[in-house]
A = this chain, B = another copy of it.
Amino acid sequence: MIQTLRVDLGDRGYPIHIGSDLLTNAELYRAHIHGNQVLVVSNETVAPFYLDQVCAGLEGFRVATLILPDGEQFKNLEILNRVFTKLLEERFNRSCCLLALGGGVIGDLTGFAAACYQRGVDFVQVPTTLLAQVDSSVGGKTGVNHALGKNMIGAFHQPRCVVADTNTLDTLDDRQFSAGLAEVIKYGLIRQAPFFGWIEENIDHLLRRDSATLVEAIERSCRCKAELVAADERERGARALLNLGHTFGHAIETGTGYGTWLHGEAVAVGMVMAADLSARQGWLTAADVERIRRLLSRARLPVDPPDAITRDRFLDLMSVDKKADDQGLRLVLLDTIGSARICSDFDRQLLDQTLNLERRTSAL
């Protein structure tokens, strides 16, 4: 079973292949490697399961591998430099290709290394987490974190292709799997009410990791993202809708220390906070807020922010968000389930209420 869609970006366009048993179908990624040197970057958790399979598929190329420690706390400039060191030790040139085998951290960091090595070389994404398959491996956002802010250092650099093999999700722990579902649910919330309904109907199949249901969820998610990216590659407009829940979520991730909360967990809470503020603005109904909370809870995701982050700390962390500009903070908020908008004219007092109260009580 294989579904292929294309991110339509002219000469930077690329295919996304989604299905089961794709890692052994090496031609899918070999076709997009133009030089003869390949560096496979993976991490200590993923490599033991899949590295040999991928390397076997790369027979005929000069292959080097680099195994990094696993975790968001390693997505930084220091670890990035290890990729450069490896590339230089191996004497890899401008025609080389990097292959990211892992979750979002490996994908973002490897993609950013590809963006910067010799001012830009090719890379291929082989995402092995649900989160990476539906989100971070599509769209060309690459980068690393800074101690003072998440994803603050990076580049737009599109992969040559993405190969999302649902088999790799078999080895994912439940917490990571649920974190990926947060982003799947996000696509329903921002643009596709019918998809949101489909997820509600199919959440148990998804949690059982039924392959066909997963392929459909990933395909619909990637299609939504590919459309938004094709319309707005560098996020000057509609692409920012993809950040629903992310401004709140990044504040939670930074405020609790990278690696404490998973990205998808923080985004889940962030989406509830965005829904709460949308309801306080009078846009979303209380019933819809509850429907969102319920689906996220069924997906085994948190829905309340950590008590440790006060309102003032939230505002401080959110003020450096990339969605902030000279006109102030912009948030993605919801008119209804299936319709989001970018908004800077929300009521500051209502935001205060969302930041203060929600963790203690469902305010509505």
By a beta-carbon cutoff of 8 Å, the part of chain A in contact with chain B is: 35-37, 77, 80-81, 84-85, 88-89, 91, 93-95, 115-120, 141, 143, 146-149, 152-156, 234, 319-320, 322, 324-326
Contacts and interface: CB of A to CB of B under 8 A. Distances in A.
A116 B146 contact: no
Contact of A146 (B88, B149, B152): B88
User: Which 8 residue pairs are nearest across A and B when measured between Cβ atoms?
Assistant: A88-B148, A119-B154, A95-B325, A118-B322, A95-B326, A116-B153, A93-B324, A93-B325
Contact of A36 (B93, B94, B148, B326): B326
Nearest to A88: B148
Nearest to A92: B320
Count copies of this chain in the complex: 2
A342 B124 CA distance: 30
Given A77-B77, A326-B36, A117 B84 contact: no
A234 B88 CA distance: 21
Contacts of A146: 81, 84-85, 88
A154 B120 CA distance: 8
A152 B120 contact: no
A301 to B, nearest CB: 27
Given A77-B77, A93-B320, A94-B325, A120 B155 contact: yes
B320 A91 contact: yes
Contact of A88 (B37, B116, B149): B149
A47 to B, nearest CB: 24
Contacts of A143: 116, 119
Contact of A89 (B85, B148, B154, B326): B148
Contacts of A116: 116, 143, 153-155
Contacts of A80: 77
B156 A120 contact: yes
Contacts of A91: 319-320
A116 B117 CA distance: 13
Contacts of A115: 155
A8 to B, nearest CB: 21
Nearest to A156: B119
A320 B88 contact: yes
10 contacts: A35-B326, A36-B326, A37-B326, A84-B146, A88-B148, A93-B322, A93-B325, A94-B325, A116-B153, A118-B152
